[in-house]
A and B are shown apart, each in its own frame.
Chain A
């Protein structure tokens, strides 16, 4: 990200030299100073609050149809209007946020767990296993995500599980590769060799010594993948491959709205805007977090 004022590094070194500061306020101030990051935080807060307090914020049922009210324009009764079945879009959007956030968290956690474990095994295990896993990672990463989703859904049918499976299969290999590279560079580090010479078991070395050292950057990367997961869920639901209707997911709202796009534009707007808000919010926040905690991670990808 660009900041308004970036002095030459030599000068900033001079500038920081005289004033040692405590660690915590430093990162907090850095984070707060990132205006785009704070904007992202506001967007994320909107989505989270909407999802958590969905039942309090609206009195409508997200699923019950009311055909007489179909295609109502936004107004006091229906903040975002209604869809083709007369359901209140605002209510569906808030409940859709629950699906999006749940999937984002569950799927990210699952692909982190799988990716990190496989990465540890690849990095610490024998050479042939490493080669085999790397080849597997690369093969999995070479499926275009949507194609993988289409193939999986053909076999197991559209469901929340299918969405999570697609996220795991497309996300875990990236984590695996990074963890594996870090483990390989760490396993010859002195503190690991010392521990091993004192008779520490493989499990101890992996989970007590290696894992804590690789998990930080991986968590930041995972936080930056949240908008990608939200996109996969919404995209699959939009194609009818994800959460089956009538469950309110942003992708479903968009799908319903798209079918009737010539009759009313409000359902499409209600479905698309929260996706934009959530992906932008999590992206801006994630980038700010990365810049604060680990400026070394490549910014481009």
Chain B
């Protein structure tokens, strides 16, 4: 297990390093000087020169890259072109809002997706199964920003049941929770479909395995067979899927934060893009990418620790 963890961790670090390099090369390889990108074409030469020096842009590319990695190690993601604030601080300030949104989306997707998939598998071929099938494909296909806008239109503007914008007053848990309902549903709805599909197909696979037949042959109560013997196995690939899902949910949060005018990393980056504040953009992209890589790592390790078959094979 330890060896596996270390190996898997090493791979994750390598992926993050390469992703960083890709981003770095992108910034410098794409036509258009980052300075003019940041300051606009009309900046005076002396301002440009000062900026170059401050950002270390006067150094050769490999040196810049090494310095960039060095800064990364110390948690320095660079500085906001406009305000001069540390990008790392800015991102960390906004990250909790986005993580709350993702957590909310996960709650929706697990709370709805797993029971729906389970139920559809139990009632295979029934009308409910067909409806769940069509609905899950539908929710997967429809983009989350369209869902977000229509949820806002229906429940906030049309019916007036839920607040339309913001994250709620700080310190008031209930208010924040109410503000979380629609955005998190918008982010999580597609994952309801993914999970329902995944759970349904793995449940069907597991329910067809002969150890389930044996459990039934020993007269075990159906509830015990489904929940303890089958679902426990069927949930494992679902966990891996959820780990991967965090990446797509991160994309979804950008839309949800903009549609519902919530603070968060997405909102931060979006605002930075419009003024071409590229250190903020690259810093935030790096943080979210690293977060995604680590989330998949966590999911893999969790599955490995929950599945005795993998545990044993790792021990040998």
A touching B, CB within 8 angstroms? yes
A2 to chain B: which residues have CB within 8 Å? Answer: 120, 124-125, 129-130, 133
Most buried by B among A2, A36, A148, A283: A2
CA distance A272 to B186 in the complex (A): 14
- State the CA gap A282–B149 with chains docked (Å): 22
> By the criterion CB–CB under 8 Å, are B19 and A147 in contact?
no
8 Å CB contacts to B: which residues of A229-271? 231, 234-235, 238-241, 254, 258, 261-262, 265, 268
A213-243 residues with Cβ-Cβ distance < 8 A to B are: 227, 231, 234-235, 238-241
Q: Do B22 and A150 touch (CB < 8 A)?
A: no
Q: A240: which B residues are within 8 A, CB to CB?
A: 274
Please determine whether B201 and A156 come into contact, CB atoms closer than 8 angstroms.
no
- Contact between A151 and B281 (Cβ–Cβ < 8 Å)? yes
Once bound together, how far apart are the Cα atoms of A138 and B272, in whole Å? 27
Report the nearest B residue to A170, measured CB to CB: B251
CA distance A287 to B134 in the complex (A): 11
Considering the chains assembled together, what is the distance between the CA atoms of A227 and B32 in angstroms? 32
CB interface residues, A 104-159, toward B, < 8 Å: 135-136, 138-140, 142-148, 150-156
Q: Are B130 and A235 in contact (CB under 8 A)?
A: no
A111 to B83, CA, bound (A): 38
A160 to B121, CA, bound (A): 43
Proximity string of chain B (10-41) to chain A, C-beta cutoff 8 Å, 1 when within and 0 when not: 00001110110111001100111010010000
Asked if residues B251 and A283 are in contact (CB atoms below 8 Å), the reply is no
Task: Give the shortest distance, in Å, between A220 (CB) and chain B (any CB).
Answer: 16
User: How many angstroms between the C-alpha atoms of A279 and B292 in the bound complex?
Assistant: 26
Nearest chain-A residue to B238 (Cβ)? Answer: A300
Is residue B191 contacting chain A, with contact meaning CB distance below 8 A?
no
Distance (whole angstroms) from the CB of A135 to the closest CB of chain B: 5
Is B82 at the interface (CB under 8 A from chain A)?
Answer: no
Q: Which residues on A sit within 8 Å (CB–CB) of B21?
A: 139
Q: Are A258 and B259 in contact (CB under 8 A)?
A: yes
B143 contacts A275, C-beta separation under 8 Å = yes
Q: Determine the chain A residues whose CB is within 8 A of the CB of B133 once the complex forms.
A: 1-2
Chain B, range 129-177, C-beta contacts under 8 Å to A = 129-130, 133-134, 137-138, 140-143, 145-146, 149-150, 152-153, 157
User: Which residue of chain A has its CB nearest to the CB of B19?
Assistant: A139
| Interchain CB contact under 8 A, A258 and B149 | yes
> Which residue from chain A places its CB closest to the CB of B246 in the assembled complex?
A144
Contact A136 B145 (CB under 8 A): no
- For residue B105, CB closer than 8 A to chain A, the reply is no
Q: Quick check: is B181 within 8 A (CB to CB) of the other chain?
A: no
Residue of A nearest to B28 (CB): A155
Complex contact A146–B292 (CB within 8 A): no
Q: Does B116 contact A (CB under 8 A)?
A: no
Is A23 part of the contact surface with B, judged by Cβ < 8 Å? Answer: no
CB distance from B44 to the nearest CB of A (A): 23
Alpha-carbon gap, A152 to B201, bound state (A)? 38
B97 CB to nearest A CB, Å: 16
State whether B18 touches A147 (Cβ < 8 A).
no
Closest residue on chain B to residue A273 by CB atoms? B146
Instruction: Please determine whether A156 and B142 come into contact, CB atoms closer than 8 angstroms.
Output: no
User: Are A272 and B150 in contact, with the CB atoms below 8 A?
Assistant: yes
> B1-9, B56-64, B220-228, B283-291: which lies at the A interface?
B283-291
For A155, list chain B residues within 8 Å (CB): 26-27, 30, 32, 34, 37, 278
* Most A CB within 10 A of own CB, among B134, B141, B150, B281: B141
Complexed CA–CA distance, A251 and B305 (Å)? 44
A142-B146 in contact (CB<8A): no
Query: Which residue of chain B is the closest to A155 with respect to CB atoms?
Result: B30
- Among A238, A261, A300, A301, contact of B145 (Cβ-Cβ < 8 Å): A238
In the complex with contacts A239-B270, A276-B146, A4-B130 CB distance below 8 A: yes
B104 beta carbon closer than 8 Å to chain A: no
Contacts of B259 in A (CB 8 A): 258
When chains A and B are docked, how far (Å) is the Cα of A268 from the Cα of B151? Answer: 12
Please tell me if the beta carbons of A154 and B37 are within 8 angstroms of each other in the complex. Answer: yes
Pick from B19, B141, B251: contact of A227, CB under 8 Å: B141
27 contacts between A and B (CB under 8 A): A2-B133, A135-B15, A142-B247, A144-B247, A144-B250, A144-B254, A144-B292, A146-B250, A146-B255, A147-B251, A147-B285, A152-B26, A153-B273, A154-B276, A156-B30, A156-B31, A227-B141, A235-B145, A238-B255, A239-B255, A261-B157, A275-B143, A280-B141, A282-B141, A283-B137, A284-B137, A299-B201
Known: A152-B30, A300-B194. 14 other contacts (CB 8 A): A135-B15, A136-B22, A142-B247, A144-B247, A144-B289, A147-B269, A147-B284, A154-B272, A156-B31, A261-B153, A272-B146, A275-B143, A280-B142, A287-B137
